[in-house]
Amino acid sequence: MKRLLSDVYLHLIAGVIALGILGISAHTLWMDRQNLWQEAEKSSRNVLTTIARDLDGKIELLDTSLKGAMAGLRHPDFQRLPPDLQYRMLFDRAASASFMGTLLLVDREGNLIADAGPIIAPRSLNVADREYFIVHRENSHLGLHVSRPFTSRTARGELAVGISRRVSDENGAFAGVVMGSIPLNTINQHFNNLSLGKQGAINLFRSDGVLLTRYPFLESQVNQDLGSSQHVQRLMRVKSGTFDSISPIDGVRRIISFERLDKYPLILTVALSVDEIFAAWQRKALVLSLATLILCCAVVGLTILFQRELRRRTRAETKLRRIARTDDLTGLPNRRAFRETFEREWRQAIRSGAPLSLLYIDADFFKNFNDRYGHGRGDEVLGAIAGSLEASIRRPRDVAARHGGEEFAIVLPETDLPGALTIAENIRRTIASMDIVHEGSPYLTVTVSIGVAAARPTRGSERSVLLEAADRALYRAKASGRNSVCGPGSESAPMQPPLPHAAA
């Protein structure tokens, strides 16, 4: 039972250690992952803020150019001015809008009135089919409008988006449109020096979910209406934020920071690939997981080895204790074990108030037996006597021991004197009935003498009293002729020896 409990405690300790190692490793990896996630969010927000402020400022300059052209067109003396002054009045503010590709002023029919190009004869151009023209013609309160990407008819056919405003006459009727274009490659040039990883991306959406441009740029991906996707709807609901999602454009999972520009219907996002963010962490997690697994296996293995060694040592110690308490010749407990048993039972008898009996047994004329038959044969006889003693006591707490030489002792707990005398007489008869020839004895067979003593121990009583009483009883049994049983103060007539062979 104790060994079972020891094994359970050992397994429990090993389990706690292994779980502790796993817990610490898991917590460390989780905290590293959380820190990486937070750093990625912070990094994407910082990049987003920088780009958004720059983009907002550049569009504001372009919008200022549009408003300047509208103000110049409304001037009462505009029509009477020469062409060069008209150009300056319309487009003088456009010089500061480096972000701009072209700036056009068209009439109510979509025909070009003027543009911010060189001062030459007016070019023939009609934009009545363009989105930025149609929406202003049909909506008088639109304000600034950002168009879908289109192929420019004035700038080498490059892709651009238009920033436009409606021009109204003095009666408020539609009089035309002023539009400044922004080439997409001009926008993307501002993103080239940013380090976002191989799968990082920057997206510029219109407020209705139309993708205007994207970095890295791929023409087939722009001008998509993604307003119905949950990903883009989340961008459209609030002004700014950070979340992770799978992109509806290329299917890559990213951490996305987004912000709606303060003055314009544009949404800018900066997205970092989750796989790239956690690539180094995953390698670290793999190494740490393997190390943790090996460490846990080592703990379990060492526990098993320790348990085996502990069992081996326990068995060895048990064996040593048994050897130290066992007589090699007879297999009975030795004198030391007898003393321990006697003291234990003495204390138990004091607690319970029960009687305790003690038998001292001595093989008669044993020196003569060894001299006549040899010590080897004498050892066999001692073994036979020991077997008889063990066979004569049947209760678990009764103990027979070799007291030394040819002497034996039996401790009989909870046995009074009459009971002890009965057991002693049975032992004497059993040994005599073995008929082991002993020509050096007057009985011609091996016999024993037994001294019996009994006591009812109390607190303060000396255990030596019982030992001495049993020893005296044995002395009387031997003095009375041997092959007899004597109790304290009693005399027992010895068995009558047979006549010598010569007389017979």
**Cα 448 to Cα 425: distance, rounded to the nearest angstrom:** 10
* pLDDT for res 2: 55
Q: Are residues 53 and 106 in the same domain?
A: yes
67: Cβ–Cβ under 8 A, 6 or more apart, which residues?
A: 93, 165
Report yes or no on 301 lying in a domain: no
pTM of full prediction above 0.75: no
Q: Are residues 59 and 84 in the same domain?
A: yes
User: For residue 272, what is the domain's CATH number?
Assistant: 3.30.450.20
Q: Are residues 254 and 145 in the same domain?
A: no
Q: Are residues 134 and 70 in the same domain?
A: yes
Q: Are residues 108 and 218 in the same domain?
A: no
* pLDDT for res 491: 47
Q: Are residues 348 and 481 in the same domain?
A: yes
List, in sequence order, the alpha helices (H) in 80-130.
Answer: 83-91
Q: Which of 171, 187, 203 is the last residue of a domain?
A: 187
**Cα 359 to Cα 361: distance, rounded to the nearest angstrom:** 6
Q: Is 374 exposed, middle or buried (0-12, 13-18, 19+ CB in 10 A)?
A: exposed
Q: Are residues 164 and 248 in the same domain?
A: no
Q: Which of 167, 187, 207 is the last residue of a domain?
A: 187
**Cα 4 to Cα 24: distance, rounded to the nearest angstrom:** 30
Q: Are residues 196 and 175 in the same domain?
A: no
> What stretch of H or E contains 404?
strand 399-404
* pLDDT for res 79: 59
Q: Are residues 171 and 256 in the same domain?
A: no
Q: Which of 152, 187, 222 is the last residue of a domain?
A: 187
Report yes or no on 317 lying in a domain: no
**Cα 450 to Cα 409: distance, rounded to the nearest angstrom:** 9
Total number of domains in the chain: 3
Report yes or no on 195 lying in a domain: yes
3-state secondary structure 308-337: HHHHHHHHHHHHHHHHHHECCCCCCECHHH
CB 205 within 8 A of CB 226: yes
Q: Are residues 482 and 341 in the same domain?
A: yes
pLDDT in tens, the chain (504 residues): 555 556 677 677 877 888 888 888 888 888 988 898 898 889 889 988 988 888 888 888 888 888 887 777 776 666 555 656 556 656 665 555 566 778 888 899 999 888 776 544 456 788 999 999 999 999 888 889 999 999 887 656 788 999 999 998 888 899 899 998 888 888 888 787 788 888 889 999 999 999 999 888 888 889 999 888 888 888 888 889 998 888 888 888 989 999 998 888 999 999 998 888 888 888 888 888 888 888 888 888 888 888 888 888 888 887 777 777 888 888 899 999 999 999 999 999 999 999 999 999 999 999 999 999 999 999 999 999 999 999 988 888 999 999 988 999 999 999 999 999 999 999 999 999 999 999 989 999 999 999 999 999 998 888 899 999 999 999 999 999 899 999 986 544 444 444 343 322
* pLDDT for res 490: 54
Report yes or no on 361 lying in a domain: yes
Q: Are residues 181 and 249 in the same domain?
A: no
* pLDDT for res 498: 45
> Phi then psi for 350, rounded to 5 degrees?
-65, -45
59: Cβ–Cβ under 8 A, 6 or more apart, which residues?
A: 99, 163, 182, 261, 263, 264, 266
User: For residue 407, what is the domain's CATH number?
Assistant: 3.30.70.270
Q: Give the domain range for residue 475.
A: 335-486
Q: Are residues 55 and 160 in the same domain?
A: yes
CB 253 within 8 A of CB 244: yes
Report yes or no on 312 lying in a domain: no
